[in-house]
Amino acid sequence: MRASEKDKETSNKHTAAVVGAAALAGSVAHVAHAGGSGKIKVGLLGCGGRGNGALRQNLNADPGIEVIALADLFESQVRRTRDRLLKEDQYKDRIKIDDDHLFWGFDCHEKIAQCEADLLVMATAPAFRGRQMMAAIKAGKHIFTEKPVATDVAGCREVMAASKLAEEKGLAIVCGTQRRHEFNRVELMKRIHDGQMGELVGGQCYWYGGGIWFRGYQEGMSELEWQCYNWYHFNWISGDQICEQHIHNIDVMNWCFNGPPVKFTAVGGRGWRTFNEDQIRSAKEVCRALNNGSEADWEKYNGDIWDHIFAEFEYANGARCLSFSGHSPGKGRGDEKLVGTKGTSNCNDAITGENSWKYDGKRVNGMDQEHIDLVKSIRSGNVLNEGQRIAESTLTAIGARTAAFTGRAISWKWLLNASKQDLVPRELAPGPGVFHSIPTGRDTLV
């Protein structure tokens, strides 16, 4: 059975909003003061590589953008980002960051939320986004946030609450799942939701790629600061690869089915990371630096994320979709496939079968377009709010990860309403790290 008429109507309204914003945007020159006037003051929270990239995409979306504030856990990141921005001629006279608008430390999100920025671009480690989004919304800021938006169930609930508050206050939330802003995929989803593929009966999605960085010790960092600097390797900060990267593909599958799965089953493990000699060498160096030369208990510095998770998502109509995510030194794969009773789709730009179709329109870079759509929606007053949706896709990834770590099949209803999973300490300060055992596949369900 296809998605209900109510689901299709909701999806089509969202699609229309995104396409409408994109179509109205046109060239940057025409967007600048459409439906609004004056400058949009922007602050960046998270001055790493992704944060710097997202900020430049935001600057490129509208010539009325001015950057007035920067925040990060580390002072060096904040100052380095300002120095680089000031040297880029294309943003001349648009970078106006005073010294008293440079913030750092574990409470930097609270500080930047209180400055006079209209919009905050967020690209910190995923663990902290729920509390950061809530602080920003309470302070009346529009938000662009990178994905995922949490690493545990408690964080997803906090984002859902922030999204509801944003709706009440008329504030925008756009997230970094850029596929939702690509014209080809938007047009494809219209046809999928209109039944051109018939009943959806299954699919597959993949993000299985090469290894990732492992950052060694930096002089002057406490144990917890080093963990945050090397955040990808710890489940409580990153959510594991299935949250951090595979969420893109998972979000596409949820888009196809107009909502999250109703049930998760998964298995996985950790093999390559346990025997990665380069990473082990670095982990031991970190251990010695933080423990007066001792290598005792060095394994905890090697991280606790897995390197492969196979999951099955069961959607409301009974369709089952397979998910494969992780890292390997071998050749990777990253795409999706959808199967219906009348055809199949690559979830990108084509349908094959009884009602074959191929997109032949304009192509856009989704990472650019999401910022154009965001700024246009702010200027028009018809703001986009993707908060609930990105929380649901993040929780989908967490559901699969939880099923794998525990060896239990779990339901969406239980995950959303009954789980007490809360991995991120509320109080954080330079000092000892937060270390958990490597998941066994038979962990206690919380």
At residue 17, φ and ψ (nearest 5 deg) are -65, -45
Domains of the chain from N-terminus onward: 5-180+367-386 (3.40.50.720), 195-358+393-417 (3.30.360.10)
pTM: 0.91
Give residue 19's pLDDT: 41
What does the mean pLDDT of the chain come to? 92
Residue ranges with strand state E in 221-286: 263-269
Place of tokens 């209803």: 413
Give residue 38's pLDDT: 87
pLDDT tens profile 11-43: 444 444 444 443 333 323 333 333 365 899 999
pLDDT band of 4, cuts 50, 70, 90: very low
| Strand 308-314 versus strand 263-269 pairing type | antiparallel
3-class SS of residue 334: strand
Name the nearest CA neighbour of 386 among 120, 123, 171, 125: 171
pLDDT tens profile 373-407: 999 999 999 999 999 999 999 999 999 999 999 99
Q: What is the mean pLDDT of residues 413-442?
A: 98
Q: How far apart are CA 390 and CA 254, in angstroms?
A: 10
pLDDT tens profile 298-327: 999 999 999 999 999 999 999 999 999 999
A 10 A CB-CB count for 287 gives 20
Give residue 21's pLDDT: 41
Q: What is the largest CA-CA distance in the chain?
A: 68
Percentage helix, strand, coil, to 5, in the chain? 45, 20, 35
Integer-rounded Cα Rg, in Å, for the chain is 22
